[in-house]
Chain A
């Protein structure tokens, strides 16, 4: 823990407790987050069993992951590469040597009664998670480390009626998950609000998902997180006593649980009490945390190097290969979209959360050179069509080159926006190049003043009543009249020109 660093980085007076600022409060929250992420690999961490979610209980098991007498672990290289990938994504140090250690404690769903983990030489050291808040502010939270370990099985407690361990008469254990590669990612205590915690987690989730190391699904348990929460008077550099919050099953729970715990701690301190170091469980229904166990019962895990596994040598060549394979990462994309392309936070986030769409978008911007129009089309019409037809944009017949062509037609005022909207529907249906359609069907916008004047004169002549109303002061009938011109021109007339000419005629 680098307590002094986090103190130095404290972001000045911070109103905790949500949007309604309560100026009488003078506490700052200090939060560290510990995540467990199941890695996406074909086989488990130390055996050849499939690494799959679900399945009939105890079907994806073998002597190794059941810890039968005599079975030995063999480390999964793909999982080690995922660790390096994650480390590099967060700019962590990848030491040349690493090793596995045994963490010894008894638990019925842990087959060996020790967990193969990493103690003092994890695969990655340090690093930083960059994230953003809803208002677009970029933040950073440093990582202590990311290490590799194995998941446990799952216990189901029976006989009590409610599935809780208390009162249950027996338990069933499913070892399908036992031995699934698990990454533990520990942050420094540099997070100061529930909002930041969620921002941090969102960025972590996006990054891990986009580099392909995990599905990161909280609902399937491939992402699980605990939060260490403490408070201290604003301005203080010492850390308060922390509690560890568990059982948060969604980002919304994380937000609510942290808010609730901060409130609780403030209330305890303000009423003259003291925070007890303990583990607290989040109760989703009641919206409060409750005490689970105090730290006095802390285990002595008796870590020691696993003699069944040889020390890991991480070759620089492998590190460099993996580094070269990394895609553009979400924080960098966010900065590029918001600062270079002028997207708002919501638009940027929407694209970042849909990598295929973002890649498509980047191609459109590159081809068209028009980020604003690209954004409008990609996040507007195309996303709507994608929703309606349940076809991802990048898999639709609309190629980035065709969309760029359409944008060029709009930019050059060859077509107006109404025609553009029609065209995009037709392109979605597979009609190909918008330029070709426009040429073939003569859809180019009419900007010839003489032709437009003819349309205007005809409409004025045919709508004497409206002209009268306009002159009597009901000027908004101009919209109707312009509409009639557009209709008569089959939409091709330049609406701005029509408008100007119509106004001129009516007021002359």
Chain B
């Protein structure tokens, strides 16, 4: 097994143990990145020098006797997270040349734990999208089929981890942006409870929903990453001052004694026989591991999409106002300041970003605010209540992470069909719940010639990450779906 193919846990153990240096791992990963990323397109910026300097520092710290839980672990950082001295674009032309003068708290914590930033990864512009096709700065391909999307918005980090260009990908999930690309790229995509990971230094899309989390090839790696990045941050008022329990050392091997809810309203028969059978099998596997399956109901979950597409655009319309050409980023000169604003934003934002700014501006406008924004907030409360009631009957809920495997480029040409990709992930985001996607099987899509991974979504009550990751670990260990197929980029890498 090549160095770069190892899991984060393996690399950290070996680097900590001194059998391999962070510098060696970093060189191996960088070589691999330069070999494959021209085809995959995971990174917008590869940080060769920054990575090498970080590796040197990690090796020094190990020599000095420090214990680093992520020693030498190659990290892909989504390009909406600030890292001092690196270009941070959010996948947008408006920030194409912007270099961050400070580091996001979550990124700083990962680096402090010994992770090596290999590069800044591609994403849908300002995290708005489900395929990475909304990036203004590059195309990212799914490593399992280069004709297909990696999912989004965290497409770059997902592709990077799937293609062994990093062991941990940092992503942000607003309505499914970690979980859906996780499912599409045969990964564990984990969104912790809202408030668990600081948003300071994460370029905001929708502040009340945005949450940073990891994409990894194993549940254990997700747990390690989660332990390193989470915790209260005085720089983020919405971060929670609550102890983060150790998780990676407490991953369970079975599901005995757990009640897992299957959501009546999420009837997978609508997704076609093949997918229906796949999820049916997944649920039975949970049962076989000792869980008791029970039916639960989320009657308002169906309103999730409509609710989300009012709240998220409303917040984004305000969050993205600062990209005005005055202080940083793109500026297109105009006759006066208003003309400059208009020209800059017309040139700097892509169509999906403009669409959401317009929807959000409309939803917040005087006369419409009560009808749209206020009602959406009420619906959000009802959805969270539904989950609370369901969790009175069960410990976890299982459902699909996405309604299909990764689709081909340009397959979702109308915005609404793209929005539907997040149908299963949005309700948990609205409720602030921890949720993850774990590989649960393979489907060869119609017209496709390669099997593509599917993801099982698990969600649990607020702050029960330990339970959630533990259950996912038991399922992963018993089913081993992820290792059944290899990525398709071997031809590219020449291996």
Contacts and interface: CB of A to CB of B under 8 A. Distances in A.
Interface in B299-326: 314-315, 317-318, 321-324, 326
Interface string A45-86: 000000000000000000100111111111100000000000
A418 interface: no
Given A63-B102, A302-B369, A310-B238, A70 B318 contact: no
A150 to B, nearest CB: 14
A112 interface: yes
A470 interface: no
A304 B364 contact: yes
Contact of B95 (A69, A71, A114, A173): A69
B204 interface: yes
A308 B318 CA distance: 12
A171 B207 CA distance: 32
A70 B201 contact: yes
Contact of A307 (B315, B321, B361): B315
Contacts of B237: 72-75, 308-310
Contacts of A73: 237
Interface string B68-109: 000000000000111000001010000100101110100000
Contact of A67 (B81, B98, B101, B327): B327
A104 interface: yes
A300 interface: yes
Contacts of A300: 365-366
Nearest to A310: B237
B297 interface: no
A266 to B, nearest CB: 34
A-side interface mostly: loop
B18 interface: no
> Which of A113, A173, A304 counts the most chain B CB atoms within 10 A?
A304
A303 B102 CA distance: 30
Q: Which of A69, A106, A173 has the most chain B CB atoms inside 10 A of its CB?
A: A69
Nearest to B81: A70
Contact of A302 (B199, B328, B365): B365
Given A112-B321, A302-B318, A307-B315, A106 B373 contact: no
A108 interface: yes
Give the size category of B's interface with A. Answer: 35 or more
Contacts of A72: 199-200, 235-238
Nearest to A306: B207
A69 B202 CA distance: 8
B56 interface: no
B246 interface: no
A102 interface: yes
A114 B324 CA distance: 12
A106 B322 CA distance: 9
B88 A69 contact: yes
B215 interface: no
Interface string A309-321: 1100000000000
B234 interface: yes
Contacts of A173: 326-327
Given A114-B321, A302-B369, A307-B315, A68 B81 contact: no
Given A70-B204, A310-B238, A113 B369 contact: no
Most buried by A among B200, B236, B318: B318
Contacts of B418: none
A187 B300 CA distance: 45
Interface in B331-350: 337-338, 341
Contacts of B101: 63, 68
A111 interface: yes
A102 B369 CA distance: 14
A72 B237 CA distance: 8
Interface in B183-236: 199-204, 206-208, 234-236
B364 A69 contact: no
A113 B81 contact: no
A282 to B, nearest CB: 25
Contacts of A113: 321-322, 324
Contacts, number: 100
Contact of B104 (A70, A106, A111, A309): A70
A92 B9 CA distance: 59
Chain A interface residue number, banded: 20 to 34
Contacts of B337: 108, 171
A102 B207 CA distance: 13
Contact of A104 (B199, B238, B318): B318
B233 to A, nearest CB: 9
A112 B202 CA distance: 15
Contacts of B104: 70
Nearest to A113: B321
Contacts of B90: 69
Given A69-B82, A69-B88, A106 B324 contact: yes
A302 B82 contact: no
Nearest to B88: A69
A67 B341 CA distance: 16
A112 B322 contact: yes
Nearest to B209: A307
A302 B364 contact: yes
B328 A104 contact: no
Contacts of B373: 304
Contacts of B315: 307
Contacts of A66: 327
Interface string A326-356: 0000000000000000000000000000000
Contacts of A71: 102, 200-201
B322 A69 contact: yes
Given A63-B102, A106-B321, A302-B361, A70 B369 contact: no
Among A70, A104, A112, A304, chain B packs the most CB atoms within 10 A around the CB of: A70
Given A302-B318, A302-B364, A70 B202 contact: yes
A71 B200 CA distance: 6
A113 B329 CA distance: 15
A71 B324 CA distance: 16
A102 B88 contact: no
Contacts of A171: 337
Given A69-B82, A304-B364, A308-B237, A114 B203 contact: no
A324 to B, nearest CB: 28
B255 to A, nearest CB: 35
Given A70-B81, A308-B237, A308-B238, A114 B318 contact: yes
A74 B433 CA distance: 24
Given A104-B318, A112-B322, A74 B369 contact: no
B329 to A, nearest CB: 8
Interface string B117-131: 000000000000000
Contacts of B322: 67, 69, 111-113
A73 B95 CA distance: 21
Contact of B208 (A75, A106, A108, A307): A307
A446 to B, nearest CB: 75
A115 B206 CA distance: 17
A69 B235 CA distance: 14
A66 to B, nearest CB: 6
B102 A68 contact: yes
A309 B81 CA distance: 20
Interface of B: 80-82, 88, 90, 95, 98, 100-102, 104, 199-204, 206-208, 234-238, 314-315, 317-318, 321-324, 326-328, 337-338, 341, 361, 364-366, 369, 373
Given A70-B82, A111-B326, A307-B207, 7 more contacts: A66-B327, A73-B237, A104-B317, A302-B318, A303-B364, A307-B206, A308-B204
Top-7 shortest CB links A-B = A113-B321, A307-B207, A307-B208, A302-B364, A69-B203, A70-B201, A67-B322
26 contacts: A68-B100, A69-B82, A69-B90, A69-B95, A69-B323, A70-B199, A70-B203, A70-B204, A72-B199, A72-B200, A74-B237, A75-B237, A104-B364, A106-B338, A108-B326, A111-B326, A112-B321, A171-B337, A173-B326, A302-B318, A302-B364, A304-B318, A307-B206, A307-B208, A307-B238, A308-B238
